[in-house]
Structure 1
Amino acid sequence: MSGTQPAASLAYEAVKKLILDGEIAGGDLISENALAGQLGMSRTPMRSAFQRLESEGWLTLYPKRGAVVTPVTSTEKREVLEARVAIEAHAVASMPGEARRTLHTELVDIAKSQSESVAARSLTDFSELDVRFHRAIVAAAGNSVILGFYDSLRERQRRMVESSVHASAHSTEAIGHEHLDLAEAVARGEAERFTSMLRSHLERVHEVRLSNDDEGAK
């Protein structure tokens, strides 16, 4: 057992990475044999990996057929994005001035790295930097409980960004420019403007309509 557990963990991480990176898309039918051969592993650890991924909601197993990758539903996408808007907007509104200035520098650096990843045509790097950009905003507010909750959404975010960047008509260059605009709003302490820009930014990238609290109050 001790010999198979590390292999099962490696298989789990490898398959999960394929899902998060968008190399295996939602709705795809995959098999233990095929992936075990692709990754140079035996079926036993791959079977354990599939079972674990099913328990976490990433796969649905079908005996003698394989497994189907759970797609991101429109409802899940909208709810995750609305949670992000609420958390990031709160972070900017509660952030002291010195933290905003320090964060602005960090955000600009990340946006520049994103531009480099676009030039290198690395969508995986671009997606990871996108998650880093938005996480930095939450981290700068200094609330570890809120940051922990935000981090619980990280894998969903990564997968959503990866699939949206591939499918959306909104270009990676445009995303980079919008990140710089968001960074500028942070530096100026313009919380309401930041929130409005963030909502529009996420709607364009993920091609979804988010609820607007201001509209609901009217």
Structure 2
Amino acid sequence: MDSMQEGKTMRETAFDVMKRNIISGEWPGGMFLSEKFLSELLGMSKTPIRSALDRLEMMGLVKLSPKQGIIVQEVSLKKILEIYELRLSLETYAVRKLTGKMDDAFFRRLDENMALQAEAIERMDITRYVELDGQFHEMIVDGLDNEEYAEVMKRIQDKFMLVVRTTFARNPSRLKGSLEEHWQIRHALAGQDVELSMRLIEQHIEYVKVIML
């Protein structure tokens, strides 16, 4: 690579680049990656690359095999269902707790995020939209101010983003519908109807599950 982000180690840089390529679909599930290819791509030795690969394997994004080498993992149907059940539990709980209780700063962050979502849709930049979509949902869970909930959400986000990206790639017209649902959820959170907030977030998450299945 020509340059690294300031303050990042080679291991962190390798991890970020590889994860981004997997999440974006640049490296699809089942793709074989050689250490030589990664070393040339990243412009670094195998040591930081192997460390980054170990971390990606722990996340379930790659599989390291002595015989087959490095393979980008495909997310199984069982794993998709597990992620959806966990996310549904997290976010319905979050909106139940947060509806009618959040300050202006919280809504400013949501509004800024959704403005960027709209820009990504205008450019038909699915990768950027998926990233912003993940941030939107993370902000809702972060509103609980509970480190354990936030940590669980972050842990499932990368795999979830893989699934969401596939959904939008199959149906690009879904982008505008997704953003509209985000606005509905945002306005419901600013109101007092807890049941409405819970129903909207559930319908929003279930939509992607139905498309994938």
TM surpasses 0.5: yes
The residue number in structure 2 matching 1:125 is 128
Give the Å deviation of 1:72: 1.1
Cα separation, 2, equivalents of 1:191 and 1:44: 51
SS of the aligned residue for 2:63 comes to strand
- Alpha-carbon RMSD across the aligned residues, in angstroms, is 2.6
Give the Å deviation of 1:38: 2.5
Max radius of gyration: which structure?
A: 1
Any idea what the Cα deviations from partners look like across 1:96-149, whole Å, max 9, x if unmatched? 634166544432332221011111332232112111111121222333332232
**Structure 1 alignment gaps of length 5 or more:** 1-5, 210-218
Any idea what the Cα deviations from partners look like across 1:55-78, whole Å, max 9, x if unmatched? 443222344643211111122112
Q: Normalising by structure 1, report the TM-score.
A: 0.78
Checking the alignment, whether the CA contact within 8 Å between 2:96 and 2:197 is kept in structure 1 is no
Counterparts in 2 of 1:26 and 1:190: CA distance versus 1, 3 Å? farther
The residue number in structure 2 matching 1:159 is 162
Any idea what the Cα deviations from partners look like across 1:21-40, whole Å, max 9, x if unmatched? 22111222222222222233
Cα separation, 1, equivalents of 2:150 and 2:60: 23
Q: 1:116 aligns with which of 111, 116, 119?
A: 119
Corresponding pairs, count: 204
Cα separation, 1, equivalents of 2:104 and 2:92: 16
The residue number in structure 2 matching 1:26 is 29
Cα separation, 2, equivalents of 1:66 and 1:79: 27
Any idea what the Cα deviations from partners look like across 1:154-189, whole Å, max 9, x if unmatched? 322333333332234652111111111111221223
The residue number in structure 2 matching 1:215 is none
Checking the alignment, whether the CA contact within 8 Å between 1:18 and 1:24 is kept in structure 2 is yes
SS of the aligned residue for 1:97 comes to coil
Matches within 5 A, 1:189-200: 189-200=192-203
SS of the aligned residue for 2:64 comes to strand
Checking the alignment, whether the CA contact within 8 Å between 1:100 and 1:189 is kept in structure 2 is no
2:66 pairs with 1:73:
no
Aligned residues with identical type, % of pairs: 28
Q: 2:87 aligns with which of 84, 87, 108?
A: 84
Cα separation, 2, equivalents of 1:169 and 1:123: 8
SS of the aligned residue for 2:28 comes to coil
Counterparts in 2 of 1:52 and 1:143: CA distance versus 1, 3 Å? closer
The residue number in structure 2 matching 1:182 is 185
SS of the aligned residue for 1:99 comes to coil
Checking the alignment, whether the CA contact within 8 Å between 2:99 and 2:197 is kept in structure 1 is no
Cα separation, 2, equivalents of 1:42 and 1:145: 35
Q: Normalising by structure 2, report the TM-score.
A: 0.80
